[in-house]
């Protein structure tokens, strides 16, 4: 399973099982981090998913400054890995673990929900500000492979899928 496969699985999990109405994948913004996937639920709570395909990448993630200080985005935070790559005992305190699969994901442990620090709130505000600004400019973003939240509801014409798996495509009213 590739990193791109896990990111798509994370987006589907966030929009489905976690009931996030807004899901962003690898969304560059003014924040210090670019989460692999982050979802926002009604009421403002957030769920962050970091996708890891190797133990080395998992260990390196723990050395990032915003991980050590706990000032990153996400009220609930998860790692998504291929099955059995990471065990529950390897997780930092408060993090959840999801084993991603091509058809089904398996939650190994649910994340604790934390109170966001002012720095974490600024991180999320930077992500949402960037999203809002792009929407006001007429740009819509949707990860390839993620369906609308309600089955059977067609996507608006202004939404398009990226040319490659996991890509995000900026669209200004035209079709790709």
Find residue 76's DSSP bridge partners: 47
**Host H or E run for residue 154:** none
Q: Give 23-67 pLDDT, tens digit per residue.
A: 888 888 888 888 999 999 888 889 999 999 999 999 998 888 777
CA–CA separation, 7 vs 25, rounded Å?
7
Query: Token pair of 149, please?
Result: 């939240």
pLDDT band with cut points at 50, 70 and 90 for residue 142: low
pLDDT of 69 reads 72
The CA distances from residue 50 to 26, 37, 61, 141, in Å, are 10, 7, 9, 19
pLDDT band with cut points at 50, 70 and 90 for residue 151: very low
The end-to-end CA distance of the chain, in Å, is 28
Q: Give 66-112 pLDDT, tens digit per residue.
A: 776 777 888 999 999 999 899 899 998 888 999 987 778 888 888 88
pLDDT of 97 reads 93
- pLDDT at position 167 over 70: no
**Host H or E run for residue 129:** helix 118-136
- pLDDT at position 16 over 90: no
- pLDDT at position 134 over 70: yes
Q: What average pLDDT does range 8-35 have in this prediction?
A: 88
Q: What average pLDDT does range 141-152 have in this prediction?
A: 49
Structural Rg of the chain based on CA atoms: 16
Find residue 81's DSSP bridge partners: 99
pLDDT of 163 reads 38
Closest listed residue to residue 76, CA positions, set 96, 54, 62: 96
């Amino acid at each position: 399973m590739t990193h791109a496969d896990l990111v798509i699985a994370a987006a589907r999990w966030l929009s489905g099982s976690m009931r996030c109405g807004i899901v962003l994948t690898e969304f560059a913004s003014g924040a210090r981090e670019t989460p692999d996937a982050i979802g926002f639920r009604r009421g403002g709570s957030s769920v962050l998913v970091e996708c890891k395909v190797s133990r080395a990448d998992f260990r390196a993630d723990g050395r990032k400054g915003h991980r050590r200080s706990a000032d990153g985005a996400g009220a609930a935070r998860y790692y998504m890995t291929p099955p059995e790559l990471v065990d529950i005992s390897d997780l930092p305190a408060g993090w959840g673990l999801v084993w991603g699969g091509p058809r089904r994901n398996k939650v190994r442990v649910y994340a604790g929900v934390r109170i966001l620090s002012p720095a974490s709130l600024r991180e999320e505000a930077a992500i949402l500000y960037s999203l809002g600004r792009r929407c006001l400019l007429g740009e819509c973003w949707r990860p390839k492979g993620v369906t609308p939240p309600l089955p059977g509801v067609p996507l608006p014409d202004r939404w398009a899928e990226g040319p490659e798996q996991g890509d995000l495509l900026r669209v200004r009213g035209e079709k790709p």
